[in-house]
Amino acid sequence: MNCKTVQSHLSAYLDRELSGEEMLDIRAHLSECFVCCEEETELRSLKRLLGRLPAIEPSGDLEQRLLAVVGAARTGERKPGRQAPFVLFAGVTACAMAITLAFLSKSHTTPAEATMQSQDIAFEAQRIHDYTGGGDAYGAPIVSAASYAGR
Amino acid sequence: MMRTTLQIQVTEMFFSVTTERVPARLNRAALFDDLVKQTHRQAYSLAFRLTGNSSEAEDLVQESLVRAYRFFHRYDESLPFSSWLYRIMANAHIDMVRRRGRLRTTSIEGSGADGSSTWDLPDPEASPDRLMLESALDEPVQTALMAMTPEFRTAVLLADVEGMAYEEVAEIMKTSVGTVRSRIHRGRKQLRSHLLKNAPETYRSLCDEL
Ligand SMILES: [Zn+2]
């Protein structure tokens, strides 16, 4: 192995993510090459440094807030505040839908009923958005940019 | 475009299942609450390292947990819940940064062998919260992390801070082990050069210490 090849494998070497043969080849090279040995030492320090970064503690009430948000998602309620931009977007879409639908079906809905429908549609809109936002093998969707918009 | 699609689908949904609402299953709810309690601290710490500040970190954890809950019925229990949550978080984070980057700049693509640019544009909002970071080295390291592309940052954090094997990282990031290997190696080298350039004394004293 030449220096270039060795240096490109150094991180994987430190992480023991190479085959036994490759590990031995690199170890042999390091024992006789000062330049690569220095490089290895530096990358090792950096890895240790990252491994020793302290965990960052959340604020004391985060657990309660998260449980509340999950609880709200459970009942289909939407919390105001952070998710407002998407709710607003969904709400506008939903209102337009509700009005259109009300018009098309010539149904007589009171404003309160229309609001209820809007909320239903807003909920469904969010749900559909989740499903269509790109799922992975586990079915976990990617968080939509919409909910980050305007931050 | 998206709005139109959404409207069409909403229409279909409205006529088919608007009145259906899955009844809350108490066991599932309690189990999920327990998982939130068990994992949120570690998830928050990773989210902070990914985003560089507490408010985005909280948002990222919150959004990821809500999505995890919605898709909990598809969660494969052979996998640790934290890995599944990290998977949602990591991809949400990369997705978010990419979209934000696309709004800000026309072309940062192209220099990376794996399709990602080597350096991301620094985000003015991404300077780490000073109060949150305790040790002297923490802030320069966090700043250096924020200067990386989200793909490199995520790979390095999962491997070096979370202590995951390349295969686990690849699984979480939905990519190959070879790509993970390259991202970690290049990511570490980027971190080192950033630290050497911006905080040489702290970095040197720390390396001597280690
Ligand atoms: Zn050499």
Minimal Cα–Cα distance from B196 to chain A, Å? 11
- CA B119 from chain centre, in angstroms, equals 17
ipTM score of complex: 0.72
Q: Is A82 at the interface with chain B, CB within 8 A?
A: yes
> Per-domain residue ranges for chain B?
27-99, 124-208
Read off the pLDDT of residues B101-111 as tens digits, 9 standing for 90 and up.
Answer: 766 654 444 34
State whether A96 and B65 contact (CB < 8 Å).
Answer: no
- Which one has a higher pLDDT value, A131 or B191? B191
Pairs of CB atoms within 8 A across A/B: 200
What value does the CA radius of gyration of chain B take, rounded to a whole number of Å? 20
Contact yes or no for B190/B119 (Cβ under 8 A): yes
- In this structure, whether the domain defined by B124-208 belongs to CATH 1.10.10.10 is answered with yes
Average pLDDT over residues A69-91: 63
Model-level pTM?
0.67
Identity of the residue numbered B8: I
CA-wise closest residue to A65 among A84, A89, A86, A82: A82
Q: Helices H, strands E: what count in chain A?
A: 7, 0
Please determine, for residue B127, whether its predicted confidence score (pLDDT) is greater than 90. no
Contact yes or no for B177/B167 (Cβ under 8 A): yes
All residues at 6 or more sequence positions from B183 whose CB lies less than 8 Å from its CB, including other chains = B114, B116, B151, B152, B155, B156
Q: What CATH architecture is B27-99?
A: Orthogonal Bundle (1.10)
Q: Is B74 at the interface with chain A, CB within 8 A?
A: yes
Average pLDDT over residues B92-96: 88
CA-wise closest residue to A56 among B24, B42, B118: B42
What is the Å distance from ligand 1's center to A31 Cα?
A: 9
Residue from A16, A62, A130, A143 to probe the interface with B (highest B Cβ count within 10 Å): A143
What is the Å distance from ligand 1's center to B181 Cα?
A: 20
Instruction: Identify the CATH number of the domain defined by range A1-53.
Output: 1.10.10
Structure tokens at A79: 């919390």
Q: How far is the C-alpha of A46 from the C-alpha of B159, rounded, in Å?
A: 12
Read off the pLDDT of residues A34-67 as tens digits, 9 standing for 90 and up.
Answer: 999 999 999 999 999 899 888 999 999 999 999 9
pLDDT for residue B99: 83
Q: Is B126 at the interface with chain A, CB within 8 A?
A: no
- Asked which of A4-8, A100-104, B66-70, B117-121 is least confident by mean pLDDT, the reply is B117-121
Structure tokens at B85: 């949550």
> Per-domain residue ranges for chain A?
1-53, 106-136
Average pLDDT over residues A5-15: 96
Please determine, for residue B84, whether its predicted confidence score (pLDDT) is greater than 80. yes
Q: CB burial class (10 A; 0-12, 13-18, 19+) of residue B180?
A: buried
Question: Phi then psi for A83, rounded to 5 degrees?
Answer: -90, 10
